[in-house]
Amino acid sequence: MDDRKAPSAAPRDPVALGIDPDIPSVARIYDYYLGGKENFPCDRAKAEEMIRLVPEAPVAARNNRAFLGRVVHTLATEGVRQFIDIGAGLPTQENVHQIARRVDPAVRTVYVDFDPAVLVHARALLTAEDEAIVVEGDARHPAGIFENPELRAYIDLKRPVAVLLVALTHFLSDEQADALVGYVRRAVPSGSYLVVTQLFPGDDPPEYVEEAAAIYSGTNTGAVVGRGRAHIASWFEGMKVLEPGIVRVESWRPRSRVDDPAWRMDTEIDEGAPGILGAVGRIP
Ligand SMILES: C[S@@+](CC[C@H](N)C(=O)[O-])C[C@H]1O[C@@H](n2cnc3c(N)ncnc32)[C@H](O)[C@@H]1O
């Protein structure tokens, strides 16, 4: 994590690119947790404030990212050939298309985000034509994402697709998050997958949960909302939820390879403690 101390290398002439370097961005804060350099002083200050309150925040971010990698590998191995990654973020390696295309180079991935810093960064990362596309979209207006002509020219919405809402829904209100999930479920065909990770305040939420929300109120999303298992389960109602169900992200098939039956639950993990829950559902 030494890189986190390094001065930002990012981004070139941000204002001209539509990026406001003075408003902390949840994508750039997350980038800082992951040890990236696509962040500004205001992002680092927010992240450090958060780390003082919750020292395990960077570990949680890495666990979340690792979950995403395991899920994408699992789904690609199961035959999923299209991914829509909403709230894609800034990571520089082990992105969805890279993981999935190791399974099959024909996999198509669309990255969607509303943060100009993410869009600039993601476009710069793509080197080969057609390996993935990046579209601007706001999860609070899912029709704008699924009706986007660029997305529809690239993804066949008559064929199964995995929609990734990973570390996204906690930046939305209950109403917005429910509407997004409902829209996704209607927009994709049977045999598609919904993947969610969501901040969980714990079975017995500690006081710092409210302080953490206050810290994030000064960011570009203006909020972070923890949710419990019952709320997350409501998003998967009627779906087949893949084993091991709705669990902490680090408990989801640790050491997973679908060709490796040795994956197991880690009994050391406290499922009731605050953290990030994840789940994968197959749409009937
Ligand atoms: C914590 S990052 C997660 C990145 C990635 N999904 C992961 O889990 O590794 C959250 C991302 O969601 C994006 N985001 C937040 N609110 C959004 C919205 N309303 N519409 C689209 N993207 C949003 C942020 O810009 C950021 O890139």
- On average, the pLDDT of the chain sits at 90
Q: Is the pLDDT of residue 9 over 50?
A: no
Tokens 């990734």 found at: 164
Q: Is the pLDDT of residue 164 over 50?
A: yes
- Domain positions in the chain: 57-202+233-282
* CB of 118 sitting under 6 A from ligand 1: yes
Residue 69 CA to ligand 1 center (angstroms) comes to: 16
Q: What is the pLDDT of residues 170-188, one digit of tens each?
A: 999 999 999 999 999 999 9
Average pLDDT, integer, range 22-37:
94
Q: Which two tokens stand for residue 83?
A: 């991914």
pLDDT at 260: 45
**Could you tell me which of 70, 129, 135, 59 has the C-alpha nearest to residue 96?**
70
Q: What is the pLDDT of residues 244-279, one digit of tens each?
A: 999 999 999 986 544 444 444 444 688 888 999 999
Quote the pTM value: 0.92
Average pLDDT, integer, range 41-58:
95
Average pLDDT, integer, range 18-29:
91
Q: Is the pLDDT of residue 65 over 50?
A: yes
Residues forming beta bridges with residue 116, ordered by sequence position? none
pLDDT at 106: 95
What contacts 12, CB < 8 A, 6 or more positions away? Answer: none
Q: At what angle do helices 57-77 and 96-103 cross, to 10 degrees?
A: 30
Reduced to 3 states (helix: H, G, I; strand: E, B; else coil), residue 51 is: helix
* CB of 235 sitting under 6 A from ligand 1: no
Q: What is the pLDDT of residues 105-157, one digit of tens each?
A: 999 999 999 999 999 988 888 877 788 999 999 999 999 999 999 999 999 99
Q: Which residue has the higher pLDDT, 6 or 230?
A: 230
Cβ neighbour number for residue 74 with a 10 Å cutoff = 22
Average pLDDT, integer, range 155-177:
98
Looking from the CA of residue 89, the nearest atom of ligand 1 is: 27
Q: What single DSSP character describes residue 274?
A: S
pLDDT at 12: 61
Residue 151 sits at φ, ψ, to 5 deg, of: -65, -45
Q: Which CATH class is domain 57-202+233-282?
A: alpha beta
Looking from the CA of residue 221, the nearest atom of ligand 1 is: 16
* CB of 212 sitting under 6 A from ligand 1: no
pLDDT at 93: 80
